[in-house]
Structures are given as structure tokens and as C-alpha cells.
């Protein structure tokens, strides 16, 4: 049965496993495909990246042989930037564009200067832990676990460099719709979120949800409802049956 694939990119410091619980909450016509990044999860032994475009091209080459249209891309925070770069990298390799790009919880590529201020140089362990506290996504118990932090902080350090050293470039716009999700109390401003409209010549939308940076977990049901709603039009266009899906 034809399905629409949803490729998901993780946020800074995270493994693709952060999306695993979505699998049982999505309709049957929507196939979840979390993309693991080098240096974490099952790919822990691989070197970490600090260059966004090199990472995107590596991922594109890895999946191009098995990628089947239709597909959509979703990324939160770092993952949103990477998802956008992945769409361009796949197009450069001759693959079809996604039917939609979901950019969640971060400033647009052209409006990163203020958002990523201070992230272009490696941060100390203490600075990284302070940043985690600011984002309100990690408990004090976890932050105090030295063994766990020793595993997490190198990944987080590299991921912050991925964002801090990223620079936008002039190129052909994407043609797919771009759907932006933002947290009402997150640090990404309305202007920074709307700036994603400059990445496509297709349609554009912004949905604001209650909560801070990790609204995708705090309001997971709403996030999944929005994704499903935006992609349902593509399901119908590609004549993908609903099957026995429930929502």
C-alpha cells in the first residue's frame, strides 16, 4: 500500500528516538521515518558534524536510494534548519521535493544572526548546562547526572555549532509548502518565524501553540493534529487510502 512518508529530524542534543512515540499516534497512511544523525543513538560511534550543509548532503546520499515520493520533512529547532537543507540536498541529487516542509521552534535561515548569537564558538560544559536550563526541557536530576551529561554534552556542543556556524546562501527557492510551528513563550519571535516564508515560492502557514521551546512534547496531540491536517490534502492528491487508520 502506498503511504506518505514523514521524515523527522531531531533537535539539538537529541536522538531521532524522540519521535518514536509518534508512530502509534499517526494514521496508517502516514509512515513515520525518524532520521538518526551521526554521533548519537545507533550511530553513536560515528563522528559528529559541525557543518550543516555537509551533514545534509551526507543524509541525502544515504537515503536517496530508498526515498520514495510522496514524502514530507519535519524538524524541530536544529532539525528544522537541517530539514530545509536536506530538501535542497535531495533536490541537488535529482530527487523530488517533499510535498511539505514542517519547520518547528526556530528562526528562519535568513534571520539567524541574533537568534544564534554566541553559538559560533564551542561552549563549555557549564554554559551548555545553563542553556539546557533556559530551554526548560531537562530536569535538574538529569542535569546533575555526570555520566549522562558526559554522553550528552559533546553532542549538544556540536549541534550548537551546527546552528551557530550556519550561514544562509542565495539559491533557487523550494516550491513545496512550508508550515511553521512556534511556541507562544519560546524565544523565536513572530518575525523570525514568518521569515520562513522566504524559503519557498509555494504556500506558507504559521501555527502558534501554547508553551515554550519544547511545545512539541507538551502539546504533542495538537502538533500531530496539525501535521496530519496539512498532509491530508497530499494524501488525497496521491490517492492514498485511509485504510483502517484512526485519529
pLDDT tens figures, 182-231: 999 999 999 999 999 999 999 999 999 999 999 999 999 999 999 999 99
pLDDT tens figures, 118-134: 888 888 888 888 888 87
Measured between its terminal Cα atoms, the distance across the chain in Å is 19
In the residue annotation, 175 being an active-site residue is answered as: no
DSSP H helical ranges for the chain: 52-63, 78-92, 125-135, 140-143, 146-164, 190-194, 215-218, 220-237
pLDDT at 247: 35
Does residue 244 belong to any structural domain of this protein?
Answer: no
Q: Please report, for residues 141, 194, 207, the alpha-carbon distance to residue 19 in angstroms, rounded to integers and kept in the order given.
A: 23, 25, 20
Q: Count up the domains in the chain and report the number.
A: 1
Q: Which residues of the chain register pLDDT less than 70?
A: 1, 137, 243-247
- State the number of CA atoms in the 13 A half-sphere of 29 facing the CB: 21
Adjacency order of strands within the sheet including 178-183: 30-34, 4-9, 71-76, 100-104, 178-183, 204-209
pLDDT at 1: 60
Q: What is the CATH number of the domain that holds 164?
A: 3.40.50.1820
Does residue 242 belong to any structural domain of this protein?
Answer: no
**The domain containing residue 27 runs over which residues?**
4-237
Does residue 246 belong to any structural domain of this protein?
Answer: no
Does residue 245 belong to any structural domain of this protein?
Answer: no
Does residue 203 belong to any structural domain of this protein?
Answer: yes
pLDDT at 146: 82
pLDDT at 244: 39
pLDDT at 168: 92
User: Could you say which of 77, 175, 197, 203 is catalytic?
Assistant: 77
Amino acid at each position: 500500500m502506498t503511504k506518505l512518508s514523514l521524515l523527522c529530524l531531531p533537535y539539538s542534543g537529541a536522538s531521532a528516538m524522540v519521535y518514536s512515540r509518534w508512530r502509534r499516534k499517526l494514521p496508517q497512511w502516514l509512515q513515520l521515518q525518524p532520521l538518526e544523525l551521526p554521533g548519537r543513538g545507533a550511530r553513536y560511534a560515528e563522528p559528529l558534524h559541525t557543518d550543516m550543509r555537509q551533514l545534509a548532503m551526507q543524509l541525502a546520499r544515504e537515503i536517496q536510494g530508498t526515498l520514495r515520493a510522496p514524502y514530507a520533512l519535519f524538524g524541530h529547532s536544529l532539525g528544522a534548519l537541517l530539514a530545509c537543507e536536506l530538501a535542497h540536498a535531495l533536490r541537488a541529487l535529482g530527487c523530488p521535493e517533499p510535498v511539505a516542509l514542517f519547520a518547528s521552534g526556530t528562526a528562519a535561515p535568513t534571520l539567524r544572526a541574533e537568534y544564534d548569537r554566541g553559538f559560533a564558538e564551542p561552549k563549555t560544559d557549564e554554559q551548555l548546562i545553563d542553556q539546557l536550563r533556559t530551554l526548560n526541557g531537562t530536569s535538574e536530576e538529569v542535569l546533575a547526572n555526570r555520566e549522562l551529561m558526559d554522553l550528552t554534552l559533546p553532542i549538544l556542543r556540536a549541534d550548537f555549532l551546527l546552528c551557530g556556524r550556519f550561514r544562509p546562501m542565495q539559491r533557487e527557492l523550494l516550491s513545496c509548502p512550508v508550515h511553521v510551528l512556534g511556541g507562544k513563550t519560546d524565544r523565536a519571535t513572530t518575525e523570525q518565524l514568518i521569515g520562513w516564508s522566504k524559503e519557498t515560492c509555494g504556500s506558507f502557514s504559521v501555527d502558534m501553540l501554547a508553551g515554550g521551546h519544547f511545545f512539541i512534547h507538551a502539546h504533542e496531540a495538537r502538533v500531530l493534529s496539525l501535521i496530519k491536517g496539512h498532509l491530508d490534502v497530499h494524501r488525497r492528491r496521491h490517492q492514498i487510502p485511509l485504510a483502517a487508520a484512526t485519529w
